[in-house]
Amino acid sequence: MAADNEAREGGSLVSKRVRDVLEGTGESWTRRMFELGRRLRAQGGGPVFDLSLGNPSLEPPPAFVAALRELVEDPTPGRHRYMTNAGFPEVRAFVAERESARFGLAIDADDVVLSVGAAGGLAIVLRALTDPGDEVVVPAPYFSEYDHYCRHADVRLVAAETGDDFALDVEAIERVLSPRTRIVLLNSPNNPTGAIYGARDLSRLADVLTGHATQDGRPPVLVEDAPYRDLVYDGSVPASAMTVYPHTIHVTSHSKDLGLAGERIGYAVISPRLADRRTVARALAYCNRTLGFVNAPALMQRVLPKVLGRPDGRVDVGVYARRARRLRAGLVGLGFAVPEPRAGFFLFPRLPDAVVARTPEGQAADVAFAERLVARRCIVVPGSAFGVENHLRLSVATDDAAIDGALAAIEAELATR
Ligand code: PLP
């Protein structure tokens, strides 16, 4: 009946901007593969080896549960009301102190805007800094949701190649800069590759951006999306542009490192050296309010000072590290090229050359391979979803049985051809 109504009224009520996505292939490979996995599970017939989604598989740490209990019991009136759109001042001050120590900068509470996860942080940054038609440069492969974030902000995503092992290729970025470049968006540690961009490359990029002339003379802003920054396997702190480029905004969340993806807490940190920092902070708070977020969830804001920095306030990154190494060893044994995993939830192996070579003309080898794996009850995301063909993205935010099952399915698929 819905279709009849559409026909009678002369088409869907959905905007062209959104309809184009819903009707195209671009809705989200990750979501599509996840849905496939869900359907397979619902049908029964044995386990599904689902490595499609970066949904934290570790539960939040004990300090989180204790903090929630304490906060829920707190009888102080007004704990759940609106607050200033940037978030509770005392929580922003707490975050500012931690970030100052991390970056060696004098960040104050007014440089911090609490957000609805990293995605909410990116949404307000994009809206606050760009005008329609501006360009956002992103090294590829990149988190596929960036296409959609840019679409909503009416800006053009311009991809730049990366180098060996997906390292930052500063020359490639320089080649695609234009007078309309407003933002260079970096995601390190990276989804989907796990790459961590090096300090030297970030310094070189800072030099390039400093020398780049935009059409209105304003410097491009470097936006760092860093929700995996505290999931580095050796416990080190990844390099950041905050220390080398003044016009930097760092966006992060606790979706991954505290396993709170459903609770939606993150923040944007504005470099104290950013031109116009106070106006930018006001703009971010304004966008929080008027994009409909209003503010980051009150309860989750108050949790942060009670959890962060405590010994029982972190998940065991070693679990993800062990799974990543186990998966990589299996894939390398099967002929995939995979850089040593260093951080985060994902591996981005390159398909063996033989698989690429025998894929029929006109088909993307990664899409065809991922689709064939579904028949073996194994769900992965094709690299094309992230702007780079001939690769697969595999999540280690799962359990050992799923990893072993996926490896067996991949081995069986390789053996059939
Ligand atoms: N950026 C990257 C690179 C991600 O991988 C994700 C989530 O998968 C996000 C942003 C969104 O994070 P959040 O759940 O904190 O909004």
3-state secondary structure 166-185: HCCCHHHHHHHCCCCEEEEE
Q: What is the pLDDT of residue 32?
A: 77
Backbone angles phi, psi at 233, to 5 degrees: -65, -30
pLDDT band at 9 (very low <50, low <70, confident <90, very high): low
Interval between CA 408 and ligand 1 midpoint (Å)? 29
Query: What is the chain's mean pLDDT, rounded?
Result: 94
CA 114 to ligand 1 center in whole angstroms: 15
pLDDT bucket at 351, cuts 50 / 70 / 90: very high
pTM, two decimal places: 0.95
Task: List the beta strands (DSSP E) in 166-243.
Answer: 181-187, 221-225
Q: What token pair was written down for 360?
A: 């029929």
Residues with CB under 6 A from ligand 1: 54, 117-119, 143, 187, 191, 225, 227, 253, 255, 261, 266
Per residue in 96-152, pLDDT (tens digit) is 999 999 999 999 999 999 999 999 999 999 999 999 999 999 999 999 999 999 999
In order of start, what are the domains of the chain with their CATH numbers? 2-59+316-415 (3.90.1150.10)
Tell me, what's the pLDDT at 8?
53
Ligand 1 centroid to residue 119 C-alpha, Å:
6
Q: What is the pLDDT of residue 39?
A: 87
Average pLDDT over residues 57-78: 96
**Rounded distance from Cα 360 to ligand 1 centre (Å):** 34
Confidence of residue 37 (pLDDT cuts 50, 70, 90): confident
Backbone torsion region of residue 235, taken as left when φ is above 0, otherwise alpha when ψ lies between -120 and 50, otherwise beta: left
Neighbours of 28 (CB within 10 A): 17
Confidence band, pLDDT 50/70/90 cuts, at residue 26: low
